[in-house]
Amino acid sequence: MKRYIILLSAAVLSMLAASCQEEELNPESVIKVTEVEKNDFDKWLEVNFVNPYNIDFKYRFELNESDMNYYTIPAEFDLSIKMAHLVKYLCVDSYDEVAGTDFTRSFFPKMFFLIGEWEYKNNGTFILGTAEGGKKILLSGINYLDTHLKAGAEALNHYYIKTIHHEFTHILNQTKEFPAEYKLITGAGYVADSWSEAPFNTEYLQNGFISAYSQESDVEDFAEMLSVYITKTPEYWASQLKLAGDSAKYITAKLDIVRQYMFDNFNIDIDVLRDVIARRQGDVVKGLIDLSDITIK
């Protein structure tokens, strides 16, 4: 037995000896971060997005952030600056105003990634924006921003801003689930990908949905309800309910749940939020906000 132990010790020792050549560790990390010289816009972003909210606003193309299923291109520099102002003034500042900076810091997406074109599918349709894991929002079609800005609030919302509110709603839902009874109200009406086809693409109101895309699923419905409600005027909402006829009661019942959910969980009154967003949209459309100014105040 003793000999056995000696032999074992010898073996262990000689194994240890394998590491006898001591190598000094290189103090330099092998991981290198690509350094890009900061321009004035980068500095502005640091002051307005990174420092206060820890939001990374990526306006330069990065392979790893892009969806390789689509052919796309980088965003224009000047339009990226405008988009940054719009995200800040219409979204970040709106939530700050209504729910407080802590709310925005905690829940608002931590990364924006801009691309110049839409993500076109091979059937000619295209994707406006997507959200990933409650953290990142992709904004596409930035190179068309001027055209839609000129066209007014509706176009601006349709192509960009409503998308942000819509995706942000998903993030809130991932943090706090919405009540299960929501999906029962128009439970039979969810048709997945068929929402864009006839008759669903035209008869959504009569079926109790605020938009065609609402019919995709209860999760999308919830996000559409909130994002449409807060980016449209009260008159628009009333007109849609009128068109919905008998089914207006379903939309209203769902809106009540949305309203309650936002209030109970985040202390947000969606009517106040709608007013704030409307006022701010008005400012942008009237040209009261300098969207190109990147001086640091």
Partner 1 sequence: MKNNRITSALIIAAALVSSQSCLKNQKDIFEESSSQRLENYLSDLKSTLTGAKNGWVMEYYPGAEQAYGGYCYVLYFTNTEVEAFSEIDIENSYRSAYKLTTDYGPVLSFDVHNPLLHYFATPSSGMYEALGGDFEFMIKSISSEKIEMLGKRSQNIYTLRPMASDAQPLEYVTKVAEMSENMRAAEFEGTIGDQEVKGEVDMNYRALIFNLNDTTQVYAPFMYTPEGLRTYEPVKIGGCTFQDLYYLTENNIFTNGVFTLKGKLPEDYTPYGEFAGDYTFYYYTNNSRSLNVTLSPDEAGTGYVLSGLNSNYTVRLEYDRAKGRLVWRSQIVGANGNNPVILAAWDLNHGGSLTWSSDAGCYIKKNLETGYFDFEDLGQYEGIATDSWILWEVDSDMNGIGQYYGWGNSQIAYIGYLKRK
Residue ranges in contact with partner 1 by CB under 8 A? 3-4, 7-8, 10-11, 13-15, 17-21, 26, 28, 30-32, 34, 36-37, 39, 59-64, 70-77, 80, 116-118, 120-122, 124-126, 143
Nearest to 274 by CA among 239, 242, 209, 227: 227
Tokens 């990634």, residue?
113
How is 92-157 classified by DSSP, letter by letter?
IHHHHHHH-HHHHHHHS-SEEEE-SS-EE-TTS-EE-EEEETTTEEEE--GGGHHHHHHH-HHHHI
Burial 47-84 (b: 16+ CB within 10 A, else e): ebbeeebebbbbbeeeeebbeeeeebebbbeebbbbbb
Question: Which of 1/188 has CB closer to partner 1?
Answer: 1
CB of 36 to partner 1, least distance (A): 6
CB of 111 to partner 1, least distance (A): 16
Question: Which of 20/180 has CB closer to partner 1?
Answer: 20
Question: Which of 116/208 has CB closer to partner 1?
Answer: 116
CB of 44 to partner 1, least distance (A): 15
CB of 100 to partner 1, least distance (A): 35
Question: Which of 143/207 has CB closer to partner 1?
Answer: 143
Question: Which of 28/102 has CB closer to partner 1?
Answer: 28
CB of 296 to partner 1, least distance (A): 20
Output the six-digit token pair for 85: 């102002």
* Amino acid occupying residue 120: Y
How is 1-52 classified by DSSP, letter by letter?
-HHHHHHHHHHHHHHHHTT-S--PPPSS-S--PPP----HHHHHHIIIIIHH
* Amino acid occupying residue 242: K
CB of 86 to partner 1, least distance (A): 17
CB 62 within 8 A of CB 73: no
CB of 46 to partner 1, least distance (A): 17
Question: Which of 7/50 has CB closer to partner 1?
Answer: 7
CB of 236 to partner 1, least distance (A): 20
Question: Which of 77/236 has CB closer to partner 1?
Answer: 77
What is the distance between the alpha carbons of residues 295 and 297, in angstroms, rounded to a whole number?
6
Question: Which of 148/280 has CB closer to partner 1?
Answer: 148
Terminal alpha carbon distance of the chain = 80
CA-to-CA dists, residue 48 to 18, 56, 84, 150, angstroms = 55, 10, 9, 25
Instruction: Find out whether the peptide bond into 199 is cis, omega within 30 degrees of 0.
Output: yes
